[in-house]
Structure 1
Amino acid sequence: MGAPSRYQSVIEEMARWELAPGDAGYPEPLLDLGDEAPVLHGYGDPSALLGECISIIGARKASPYGKTCAKMAGRAAAECGITVVSGGAVGCDQCAGTSALDAGGKTVVIPGCGADRVYPSSSDELFARAVSHGGCVVSLEHWGAPPARYTFVRRNNVIAALSSVLVVCEAGRPSGTFHTATKAAELGRKVYAVPGSIFSANSRGTNWLIESGASAVIDEESLEGLIALDYGRLRSQVESHDLPRGKLLDALVASPMRADEISVFLGLGLPQTLAVLAEQEALGLVCRLPDARFAPTEAALVGHNVGS
């Protein structure tokens, strides 16, 4: 027998755990799977399953384009403080999880084998880092279970259910990635998709998803904007802007506006606009209305000379 993998060496020092539906700490989103809600077997910190998660997936035989998009998405999510979920497969999954860890974030890996095994072997480093840096490796299969075709279908459903958003970096049609995206949509999760060339088989699925209503990730800033709107999270390195308060308040006095409308009005990207609004909220000058529009506070109206 060969030397144990790095992951197996790491988990030798860890206690394994199991979570069943109804147990304290079981992730509620998985209950949407109904009778298919699985018992979970894992290593690492199970509380990673309870925070805000975003699933990032893509083709196993990913192109350099798909891998780069997965790295971008993993990094952006981590820098927004969101846990990245993937299947740990070669290609986009590995890139997303590794990029999240490199950015100081956490990742949850859901393989198609027992949580005490590594598959594929090239993901050994990813598995080890996931459990060592606040995330976990979690499986639907019993300890020691080998990968099989049916196990990947089951785990794809869990990847779709666990997060409120699924990002598809590259996908053919049909494919396991495409199946996961359609399952996420059936469960009411939001789907983001990266468009690609109409001549690329690996982008046929993502382009179809966008045509069918998925949010298009056309660049890094658009991804930041989508995350900001759906999670209320700003990327850690977004710089604040010294914007004259009068321009923003004058506009909001005339009519409360949504963040995207304010972005157009100010001529700023959505992440930067949300940073400005966060500053103004902290100063007590702007408040968010129940319908998600922003308006000036009473204190702002009393203390600010509108039109100055």
Structure 2
Amino acid sequence: MGDRWVLTKGDGAWPQALDDLEDPPEWVFGIGSRDVLHESCISIIGARRASPYGLSVARLAGRVAAECGIVVVTGGAMGCDVTAARAALDAGGKTIVVTGTGADVTYPRSSEDVFARAVTRGAVVSLENWGQTPRRYAFPKRNRIIAALSQSILICEAGLRSGTFSTALAAGQMGRDLYAVPGSIFSPESMGANQLIAEGAHIIASEIDLEQRISLDFGMLRMVGEGVPRQEGRILSALMSEPTRPDDLARYLAEPVTSILVALSDYEGAGMVKRLPDGRYSLSESAYLARDRMVGHHEKKRIGRPDQEGNGDAG
């Protein structure tokens, strides 16, 4: 467990971003690094009972943000929040978990690994006193802090009446940049994100969109390790939204169709994509559930399952 601290308004370590709130808090409790509160941050949030699509978006977003050198802020809840935080940490990045309990209380228990890692590569912060157990009133307060700490907020997946949607509204009121990932018009889990896009949120329709948005808004360039083929990552990202034919993928990605077919063959052999009877390719179920990025058959990757726990917090 990292160092415990309490910040109060007026001291040198106080994050000035919190003063943008209409009624800023008087104190913040935390464990881990105080300095991380002053770094460039992006909040990545979404549904607790997220679909495989929402979890894939959160995983991609957490990784891309970490590779751009941006701290990922989440609420630590099951679903999109904890998935984005894990992806950022797995990519060597930092995360801030803003919890609705005391900063020394892990909630939900399914996020225990992220809380433990956050205090060594970031921080766990809260408005609640040490030892405070979950209280429904605390989570709306927590959501406002998530919105305030970051320059930009990315909504992976959100219903209309949700803590994620209310966090996005608070961010908009403070003039934060809103990014939202579009979803199916038939999915209740995407209605909130789609409405935010209709009202002017930046549309994040691909991995490249997110990378470019971060580059524009933060002035940060993405650093990808040597040997990671960008083209293949783009193929998986494109297939996340809907099944696609190889020639359509080639046009969308501006790549030779032969290169696309070779990559698809490799992915099919690795169990990451499947060919449909009509000739289109889609991600396999295991690809949607994969915890770690698959970058081709030359690199062995560990595949895990996302959290399937029951009730999350009230945020």
Q: 1:35 to 1:182 in 2, by over 3 A?
A: closer
- Matched letter for residue 14 of structure 2: Y
Counterpart CA distance in 2 for 1:38 and 1:117 is 21
Shift of 1:37: 2.6
Correspondence list, 1:60-209, <5 A: 60-133=48-121, 135-209=122-196
Shift of 1:38: 4.1
SS in 2 for 1:161: helix
Counterpart CA distance in 1 for 2:156 and 2:176 is 16
**Which structure 2 segments of 5+ residues have no match?**
227-253, 256-315
Instruction: Determine the structure 2 residue equivalent to 1:221.
Output: 208
Structure number with higher helix proportion:
1
Instruction: Determine the structure 1 residue equivalent to 2:14.
Output: 26
Counterpart CA distance in 1 for 2:25 and 2:102 is 17
Shift of 1:34: 3.9
1:234 is aligned to 2:221? yes
Counterpart CA distance in 2 for 1:54 and 1:237 is 19
1:16 is aligned to 2:18? no
SS in 1 for 2:139: helix
Counterpart CA distance in 1 for 2:20 and 2:196 is 22
CA RMSD in angstroms comes to: 1.5
**Which structure 1 segments of 5+ residues have no match?**
1-10, 240-266, 269-308
Counterpart CA distance in 1 for 2:45 and 2:26 is 21
Q: 1:30 to 1:172 in 2, by over 3 A?
A: same
> What TM-score, normalized to structure 2?
0.71
Number of residue pairs aligned between Structure 1 and Structure 2? 228
- Matched letter for residue 150 of structure 1: Y
Correspondence list, 1:32-51, <5 A: 32-51=20-39
Counterpart CA distance in 1 for 2:178 and 2:96 is 19
Q: Which moved more, 1:33-42 or 1:206-215?
A: 33-42
Counterpart CA distance in 2 for 1:127 and 1:41 is 14
Residues 182-240 of structure 1: CA deviation (Å, up to 9, x unaligned): 1000000000000000000000000000000000000000000100000011100299x
Counterpart CA distance in 2 for 1:97 and 1:40 is 21
Instruction: Determine the structure 2 residue equivalent to 1:299.
Output: none
Q: Which moved more, 1:229-238 or 1:195-204?
A: 229-238
- Matched letter for residue 81 of structure 1: G
1:210 is aligned to 2:197? yes
- Matched letter for residue 202 of structure 2: S
| More relative contact order, 1 or 2 (CA 8 Å, 6+ apart) | 2
SS in 2 for 1:237: coil
Q: 1:202 to 1:102 in 2, by over 3 A?
A: same
